[in-house]
Amino acid sequence: MSAATEATRAPDDHSGDHHPAPEPGPVRDQRTLAAAGDLLRALAAPVRIAIVLQLLEHSRCVHDLVDALGVAQPLISQHLRVLKSAGVVEGERKGREVLYSLVDDHLAHIVVDAVAHVEEGP
């Protein structure tokens, strides 16, 4: 941005920043907001974010996630339980293993967008 543009820009003008603020949406009922908060809390651990990113391409069993993430098996299993109870992942038994996959791509997009936002920087 040129010095002249910088000098004439209003202090609260964020036109050079990321994206404009969205218009306020409709007011939601408290149950919906509480459920959304629960979902975001379920996604709010770095290991859980990494698990969701690993499951983007295809289903994986616990030992695949252990190998990919370098996290102990009991911890991976604990995080998978949280994600499963929040409706983020589901498990399907295949012989002696359980293959975990994302319930839908919508939640994966939320995680990918959050990670991309952080990688873009301030």
Domain ranges (residues) in the chain: 46-122
Instruction: Return the DSSP state at 43.
Output: T
**Predicted TM-score of the model (pTM):** 0.76
Burial 57-88 (b: 16+ CB within 10 A, else e): eebbbbebbbeebebeeeebeebbebbbebeb
User: Where residue 1 falls among pLDDT bands split at 50, 70, 90?
Assistant: very low
| CATH class label, 46-122 | mainly alpha
Biggest CA-to-CA distance, the chain: 68
> 70: left (phi > 0), else alpha (psi -120 to 50), else beta?
left
Q: What is the pLDDT of residues 68-103, one digit of tens each?
A: 999 999 999 999 999 999 999 999 999 999 999 999
What's the chain's average pLDDT? 86
